[in-house]
């Protein structure tokens, strides 16, 4: 009997400690150490160094007066005019005075010149491979900013505004501008280029009000007649983008007469499978001819576009066409859909040698193929799956980040043209706190060391994601400046500028979030359930601490409605996490939900998930999520009860059998 009791006790302990990993401390893993954010000194925010007149500096403004004028070329583009107007605005606001913008045919009316682009016969600098960097000269009489084209020159203007004058493009509508009536700047004569060739942060905010241009992102297009549509405005330079194979060969046009052009599944040709688009049969030579001709037609319609995608559908349910020939090719390549896709792309690349032919390494095509090299003008957009936002790809400190690191290494053996498609938010919970700033500079170092030509940071396409503007700003700086970017410095300065006197508690909130995540030894994924972090950075105690810091920030903001509104953006993220805690009573949860709805309404936030609305969250998602969490928490106890009951029944049966034997013996 003692043996049975021991087994029962050990079983109970094992269940309680082992189920879901709730009660056991997580195994130690190599995560990026949190970076500490600190409030920036006011002298630095004010750019007091600009007011110091020393040797090697030129006088831009002195006591609110200037001899300079901004000179634009006669054929000035709208893009350049916007950038020059931004320069004029910040200089006027900084100095509380005025500086003129004039065309080059009136340049003689000004004593000194800020030459923009090719004004007064400025020669464009020679940059290689469509570089959108620029040349800047600062001398006593002339400041000249010129790039290889007007876009590159605009980059130079925005760089000058931020890096020389100390301004910050905080949001689409907010620019931080220090105050200095006298501005003395260092002489220079240098070329400046971005560390990443193609740069995009896919977020709602970056497409708004020309903000992405100010952040020097070149993966977003802008036009005066463009409607505000994030799907249309992204992907500058691309003629087609993403899941587009049916754009070249349409089921509506071909399926009835040629079903063999489409995916075979269980012996049947299909155009859809389990509610998603299927694929084309890439081993069919007729498919290639049709796709090539359709691509040629599209290219003729948009001859300026350099990149052209050919990508299958977005479905996790089907691993490409499963006909005999396609399966054979995929198997020979090591069991990856690239066995059929990459040779197909190579043929397209040879047909269009002056263009880049691009595709996604994603889902069944994620794995690099064996024994196949990419043509020099093939681009692989490699999705960071599984990836991780708590452990850098440079370190590969846990299984998820290590796996993606290895994928990059393998693909680098096949092509020199990799664009990393990184996922930088929680797509299932767009408002959830997501402390991933510490990994980004190290990730950039990894990209640079592996010759990554572009980075597509996919954030939230919806209004008002967690720290959406801050994240867009920092990621943009990292891609431009490179892995040496001091992320702590930029985050600290941003928060100091954005929250003013209320910055300190917000910085401490961010520090605490990052520290608690690191201590939990948990990965940070794009579809994480909050339950995963309820024993870590999203615990009840931590959330209570975050809310105290938010209240401290509100007290420091006083009656400043703008600052209060900005602090409420942080509050929304924290109470969103709080609403999902399983231990909250019904009345308190409803009060939190009412506050969430109120804050979302003020900000026009209608989506809290990539595929679910705020309305869905109110009506079912919150309730169902909490129910599942409670069931998961109860699971180890329920299992223990079942085991104890089973052991009890066994013990009772043993006793009964023993008693029966004893009676028989008598």
pLDDT in tens, 207-223: 888 899 999 999 887 65
Q: What is the pLDDT of residues 447-484, one digit of tens each?
A: 999 989 999 999 999 999 999 999 999 999 999 999 99
Q: What is the pLDDT of residues 258-272, one digit of tens each?
A: 999 999 999 999 999
User: At what angle are helices 622-665 and 2-18 packed, to 10 degrees?
Assistant: 170
State residue 21's pLDDT score: 41
The closest of 364, 404, 399 to 387, measured between CA atoms, is 404
State residue 220's pLDDT score: 83
Q: Do the Cβ atoms of 159 and 181 come closer than 8 Å?
A: no
Q: Do the Cβ atoms of 375 and 367 come closer than 8 Å?
A: no
Six token digits for residue 286: 């007729």
State residue 658's pLDDT score: 67
Q: What is the mean pLDDT of residues 585-608?
A: 96
Q: What is the pLDDT of residues 81-98, one digit of tens each?
A: 999 999 999 999 999 999
List the domains of the chain with CATH numbers. Answer: 57-186 (3.30.379.10), 205-245+285-319+335-483 (3.20.20)
Grade residue 637 by pLDDT with cuts at 50, 70 and 90.
low
The number of helices, as runs of H, and strands, as runs of E, in the chain is: 21, 21
Quick check: 12 pLDDT over 60? no
What percent of the chain is modeled with pLDDT above 70? Answer: 88
Lowest mean pLDDT segment, chosen from 21-30, 249-258, 395-404, 454-463: 21-30
What CA–CA distances, in Å, run from 32 to 234, 436, 535?
A: 31, 10, 19
Q: Do the Cβ atoms of 132 and 155 come closer than 8 Å?
A: yes
Grade residue 650 by pLDDT with cuts at 50, 70 and 90.
low
Q: What is the pLDDT of residues 162-211, one digit of tens each?
A: 999 999 999 999 999 999 999 999 999 999 999 999 999 999 999 888 89
Q: Do the Cβ atoms of 323 and 264 come closer than 8 Å?
A: yes
Q: Residue 471 in 3-state DSSP?
A: helix
State residue 13's pLDDT score: 44
Q: What is the mean pLDDT of residues 385-401?
A: 92
State residue 148's pLDDT score: 92
Distance CA(194)–CA(568), nearest Å, equals 35
Mean pLDDT of the chain: 90
CB atoms within 10 A of CB 545: 17
State residue 227's pLDDT score: 45
Termini Cα distance of the chain: 23
What percent of the chain is modeled with pLDDT above 90? Answer: 81
Grade residue 544 by pLDDT with cuts at 50, 70 and 90.
very high
**Cβ-based neighbours of 495, under 8 Å, separated by 6 or more:** 37, 39, 470, 503, 506, 507, 510
**Cβ-based neighbours of 550, under 8 Å, separated by 6 or more:** 505, 506, 509, 567, 570, 571, 574
State residue 71's pLDDT score: 98
Q: Is the peptide bond before 112 cis (omega within 30 degrees of 0)?
A: no
Quick check: 594 pLDDT over 80? yes
The DSSP code for 359 is: E
């Amino acid at each position: 009997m003692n043996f049975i009791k021991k087994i029962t006790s050990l079983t109970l302990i094992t269940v309680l400690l082992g189920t879901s990993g709730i009660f056991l401390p997580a195994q130690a893993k190599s995560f990026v150490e949190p970076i500490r954010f600190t409030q920036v000194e006011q002298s630095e925010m004010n750019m007091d160094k600009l007011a110091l007149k020393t040797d090697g500096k030129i006088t831009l403004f002195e006591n609110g007066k200037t001899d300079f004028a901004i000179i634009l070329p006669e054929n000035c583009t709208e893009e350049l005019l916007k950038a020059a107007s931004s320069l004029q605005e910040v200089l006027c606001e900084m100095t509380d005075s005025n500086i003129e913008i004039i065309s080059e045919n009136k340049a003689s009316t000004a004593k000194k010149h800020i030459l923009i682009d090719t004004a007064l016969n400025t020669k464009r600098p020679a940059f290689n491979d469509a570089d959108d960097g620029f040349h800047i000269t600062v001398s006593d009489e002339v400041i000249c900013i010129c790039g290889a084209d007007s876009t590159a020159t605009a980059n130079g203007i925005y760089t000058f505004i931020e890096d020389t004058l100390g301004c910050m493009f905080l949001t689409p509508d907010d620019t931080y501008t220090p105050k200095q009536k006298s501005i003395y700047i260092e002489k220079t004569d240098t070329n400046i280029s971005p560390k990443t060739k193609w740069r995009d942060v896919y977020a709602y905010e970056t497409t708004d009000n020309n903000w992405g241009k100010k952040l020097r992102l070149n993966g977003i297009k802008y036009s005066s007649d463009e409607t505000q549509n994030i799907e249309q405005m992204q992907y500058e330079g691309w003629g087609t983008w993403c899941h587009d194979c049916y754009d070249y060969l349409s089921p509506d046009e071909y399926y009835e007469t040629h079903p063999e052009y489409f995916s075979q599944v269980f012996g049947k040709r299909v155009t859809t499978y389990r509610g998603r688009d299927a694929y084309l049969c890439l081993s069919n030579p007729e498919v290639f001819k049709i796709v090539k001709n359709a691509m040629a037609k599209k290219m003729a319609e948009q001859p300026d576009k350099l990149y052209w995608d050919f990508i299958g559908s977005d479905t996790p349910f089907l691993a490409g066409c499963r006909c005999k020939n396609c399966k054979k090719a995929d198997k020979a390549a090591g069991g990856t859909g690239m066995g059929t896709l990459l040779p197909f792309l190579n043929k397209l690349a040879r047909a269009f040698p002056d263009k880049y032919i691009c595709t996604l390494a994603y889902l069944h095509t994620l794995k690099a193929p064996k024994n196949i090299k990419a043509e020099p003008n093939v681009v692989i957009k490699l999705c960071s799956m599984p990836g991780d936002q708590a452990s850098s790809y440079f370190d590969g400190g846990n299984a998820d980040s290590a796996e993606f690191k290895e994928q990059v290494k393998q693909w680098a053996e096949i092509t020199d043209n990799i664009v990393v498609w990184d996922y930088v938010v929680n797509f299932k919970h767009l408002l959830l706190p997501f402390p991933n700033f510490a990994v980004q500079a190290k990730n950039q170092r990894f990209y640079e060391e592996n010759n990554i030509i572009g980075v597509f940071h996919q954030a939230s396409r919806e209004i008002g994601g967690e720290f959406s503007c801050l994240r867009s700003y920092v990621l943009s700086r990292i891609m431009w400046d490179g892995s040496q970017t001091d992320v702590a410095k930029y985050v600290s300065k941003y928060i100091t500028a954005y929250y003013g006197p209320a910055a300190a508690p917000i910085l401490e909130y961010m520090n605490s979030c990052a520290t608690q995540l690191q201590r939990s030894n948990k990965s940070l994924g794009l579809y994480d359930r909050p339950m995963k972090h309820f024993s870590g950075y999203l615990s009840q105690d931590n959330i209570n601490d975050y809310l105290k810091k938010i209240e401290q920030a509100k007290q420091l903001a006083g009656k400043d409605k703008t600052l209060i509104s900005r602090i409420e953006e942080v509050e929304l993220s924290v109470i969103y996490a709080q609403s999902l805690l399983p231990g909250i009573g019904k009345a308190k949860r409803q009060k939190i939900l009412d506050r969430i709805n109120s804050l979302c309404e003020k900000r026009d936030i209608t989506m809290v998930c990539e595929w679910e609305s705020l309305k869905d969250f109110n009506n079912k998602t919150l309730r169902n999520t909490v129910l599942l969490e409670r069931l998961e928490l109860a699971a180890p106890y329920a299992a223990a009860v079942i085991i104890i009951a089973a052991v009890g029944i066994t013990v009772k049966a043993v006793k009964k059998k023993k008693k029966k034997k004893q009676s028989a013996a008598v």
